[in-house]
Amino acid sequence: MSIIVQKFGGTSVANAEKIRAAAQRAVAAKQAGHQVVMVVSARGKKTDELVRLAAEMSENPAAREMDMLLSTGEQESVSLMAMAVHSLGEKAVSLTGGQIGITTDSTFSRARIESISTDRIRKHLDAGEIVIACGFQGIDPEMNITTLGRGGSDTTATALAAALQADECQIYTDVEGVFTTDPRVVSAARKVSLLAYDEMLELASLGAGVMHSRSIEFAKKFCVPLRVRPSFDEGEGTLIANTGEQRMVAGLALARNEARVTLADLPDQPGVTSCIFACMAKRKIPVDMVVQNVAVDGKATVSFTVQEGELADTLTAANEAIKILGAGTIRSGTNVAKLSVVGAGMRNHSGVAAQMFDILLKKGINLQMITTSEIKISVLVERDRCDEALLAVHEGFCMETAVPQTPEIGIQQKTKSPECDQSEDQLLSRIVSKLAKMEDIVVSEVQLDESQSRVTLHHIPDVPGTCAEIFTTVANKNIMVDMIVQNVSDTGHAEVSFTVQRTDLENCLKLVGELASKWDDATVSHEPEIGKLTVVGIGLRTHTGVGEKMFKALADANINIQMINTSEIRMSAVVAADQGKTGFKVLNKAFNLVEEA
């Protein structure tokens, strides 16, 4: 019999009427012949209310007690939901995370799921009951209640769907589905019918608040078809699955509360990045928008962003790193926001970055940092102007009018994607089946690209339009730019590095040489042969350990890193050409992958 998981978010169960409506949906699915598991969040703003109450008790409440407290919000709503189902004449049972057997590690407030026992749920389902599970919570090996992080009910839902091999996981929420960007911020945002797991993974981790990013990791790893649907009407919502869709721009995400940190005057030697990442990973700080540019005068600079709330911890970790390295200075700033463009079609098209930079130039918005990865471009802008930037990019890419390129897939249709049979997914499922714990990091492949060159423009004006001019000039000549990193500047000047195919190098150097000659003191350097090493997987950025492992393996092999970019699905480092093969070998070893011939 088919199993459907239905998750209802806070606003969708805020009052008795809404709880009843949610119960009716579950009952309807049950009566249509499915076995139904509901995952329910705390009602309305209940969790926020509990957080406020805790703050009244203590400035620094114990993490264990916080989880104990916050988990009660969900316990309240599941029992009410069970009563609502009973009153509709169906059998139902409410269960806490612990009662189900959702085992997590002991990292209170952001615990990771280790395993889920399905025995109890299956017993209830087979007895004809609707199972109503508390979202957002689990239990650690010592029987302490843990929570998965704010918004974590989505992750409970996809993890349960994965463990039960459900036919579909439906996420009922207060919007019609996933939009091109937050519809509450940009009223012209448009609902998207179909998104690839990779697109949603990037969007969610880059700040699109509609889904907990870890929930998409489960969906992709275990091939769970996911549908985000409105709880207030019968809309079809957005299907998130494996898809061949190749839109250049699928969505935009804005992370308002970013902070930037720069470590400068570092020794330019192997191990520097590794040391910084290790210090951050030790404190479980997810490091974002890492920008390491080519060293000048033997001194390296590494910049990155973190969530503003993590800044104090990050500065402590950065100080530790500098102490270990024996040199370095730290700068940081908070008035910044990160705007990202995501689209699977970027894989095969150049010019999206140039277009984005040009749109922002026309608004006079300066780009403080830039980092690109295979299917996303992120820029750091002044926080006060981030909404304006978001709106301009949404309009500039005509996202409100773009016609969906794929037909709607009906909800009744069996949506387990046929692509799940393809070899990439077989490789993935082989790796996933060997995981010791459900939420362990998945690294599926290491790649070495020896076909590119690096180009760097030093000392360029740190004013709106510089990057737009560089990348438009290059894109106009059909030169495909792969990695772009631009660092933050506190001196009125910036530095941008990018990679191009070797065959395009000569043309590219001519173009940027002409540009540089217009700018006082700007110079161009390049390296015709580089190795680009990429680790491919799922949830790479949100698992702080991946960068640590990758950069440690390279440092141990005495390999210096020239450029870095990171995303949820890929983490790349540019190294000297003659070190590419060694790097490839040590990374395969570090991630226990069999090296392909």
Site residues for ligand ADP per CB under 6 A: 9-12, 41, 151, 173-175, 178-179, 181-184, 208-210, 251
Indicate the residue among 22 and 540 with the shorter CB distance to ligand ADP. Answer: 22
Q: Which one of ligand ADP, ligand ASP, Mg ion, none interacts with residue 580, CB within 5 to 8 A by kind?
A: none
Cβ at position 182, least distance to ligand ADP in Å? 3
Number of residue whose CB is nearest ligand ADP: 9
Q: Nearest 5°: CA angle at 381, between 263 and 217?
A: 80
Residue with smaller CB distance to ligand ADP, 180 or 588: 180
Stretch that binds ligand ASP, among 22-30, 40-48, 481-489, 549-557 (CB under 6 A): 40-48
Reading the block at residue 287, the tokens are 């490091």
Strands (E), 343-375: 369-373
DSSP at 519:
S
Residue 41: CB minimum distance to ligand ADP, A = 6
Alpha helices (H) in 524-596, listed in sequence order: 545-556, 580-590
Segment interacting with ligand ASP, rule: CB under 6 A, options 147-155, 169-177, 303-311, 547-555: 147-155
As measured in angstroms, the least distance from the Cβ of 151 to ligand ASP is: 5
Q: Six-digit token pair at 441?
A: 């990091």
Contact region for ligand ASP (CB under 6 A) — 149-157, 338-346, 375-383, 442-450?
149-157
- Which residues 6+ apart lie within 8 Å of 33 measured at CB? 1, 2
The distance of closest approach from Cβ of residue 74 to Mg ion in the complex, given in angstroms and rounded to an integer, is 12
> Which residue lies nearer to ligand ASP by CB, 256 or 493?
256
Residue 464: strand, helix, or coil:
coil
Shortest CB 120 distance to ligand ADP, Å: 25
Closest distance between ligand ASP and the C-beta of residue 254, in Å? 19
**Site for Mg ion, rule CB under 5 A:** 9, 151
**For Mg ion, which is the closer residue by CB, 9 or 580?**
9
452-461 and 288-292 strand pairing? unpaired
Nearer to ligand ADP, 175 or 587 (CB): 175
Question: By CB under 6 A, which span of 145-153, 264-272, 547-555, 564-572 interacts with ligand ASP?
Answer: 145-153
Q: Does 44 engage in binding with ligand ASP (CB under 6 A)?
A: no
Judged by CB, which is closer to ligand ASP: 26, or 446?
26
Q: Are 63 and 96 in contact (CB under 8 A)?
A: no
225 binds, among ligand ASP, Mg ion, ligand ADP, none (CB under 5 to 8 A by kind): none
Q: What x/- string results for residues 153 through 182 when contact with ligand ASP is judged by CB under 6 A?
A: x-----------------------------
Q: Which does 544 bind (CB under 5 to 8 A by kind): ligand ADP, ligand ASP, Mg ion, none?
A: none
CB of 16 to ligand ASP, least distance (A): 18
DSSP assigned state of 62: -
Nearest to ligand ADP of 198, 358 (CB atom):
198
Say whether 346 sits in a helix, a strand or coil.
helix
Q: Is residue 42 part of the contact set for ligand ASP (CB under 6 A)?
A: yes
CB 228 within 8 A of CB 157: no
Number of helices (H) and strands (E), helices first, in the chain?
17, 26
Helix or strand or coil: residue 400? coil
> Which one, 76 or 320, has the nearer CB to ligand ASP?
76
Please report how close the Cβ of residue 237 comes to Mg ion at its closest, in angstroms: 14
Sites for ligand ASP among residues 50-89 (CB under 6 A):
73
What count of other Cβ atoms lies within 10 Å of the Cβ of residue 488?
26
In this structure, the number of other CB atoms found within 10 A of the CB of residue 73 comes to 26
Q: How far is CA 65 from CA 60, 70, 71, 109, 579, in A?
A: 11, 9, 10, 10, 50
Query: Could you tell me the smallest distance in angstroms from the CB atom of residue 148 to ligand ADP?
Result: 13
11 lies in the site for ligand ASP, by CB under 6 A: no
d(CA 548, CA 573): 13
Binding of residue 152 to ligand ASP (CB under 6 A): yes
Q: How many residues make contact with ligand ASP (CB under 6 A)?
A: 12
Per the listing, tokens 């009716």 go with 24
Alpha-carbon gap, residue 247 to 227, rounded angstroms: 19
DSSP conformation class of 235: -
Taking the complex as a whole, the smallest distance from the CB of residue 483 to ligand ASP amounts, in Å, to 35
- From the CB of residue 413, how many other CB atoms can be counted at a distance below 10 Å? 11
Q: Where are the alpha helices (DSSP H) in 15-141?
A: 16-31, 46-57, 63-87, 97-100, 119-126
CB nearer ligand ADP, residue 175 or residue 280: 175
Cα 102 to Cα 157: distance, rounded to the nearest angstrom: 11
Q: Applying CB under 6 A, does 151 fall inside the site for ligand ASP?
A: yes
Residue 167: closest CA among 387, 6, 386, 283? 6
Q: Nearest approach, Cβ of 137 to ligand ASP (angstroms)?
A: 9
SS3 452: strand
User: Helix 311-325 crosses helix 272-282 at what angle (to 10 degrees)?
Assistant: 140
User: Does 41 interact with ligand ASP (rule: CB under 6 A)?
Assistant: yes
Could you give phi then psi for residue 457, rounded to 5 degrees? -105, 120
Minimum CB–partner distance for residue 48 and Mg ion (Å): 12
Identify which range of 61-69, 148-156, 238-246, 519-527 contacts ligand ASP by CB under 6 A. Answer: 148-156
Task: Name the nearest CA neighbour of 470 among 501, 491, 500, 430.
Answer: 500
* Planar angle of CA 32, 34, 37, nearest 5 degrees: 125
Using CB under 6 A, list all residues that contact ligand ASP.
9-10, 41-42, 47, 73, 135-136, 150-153
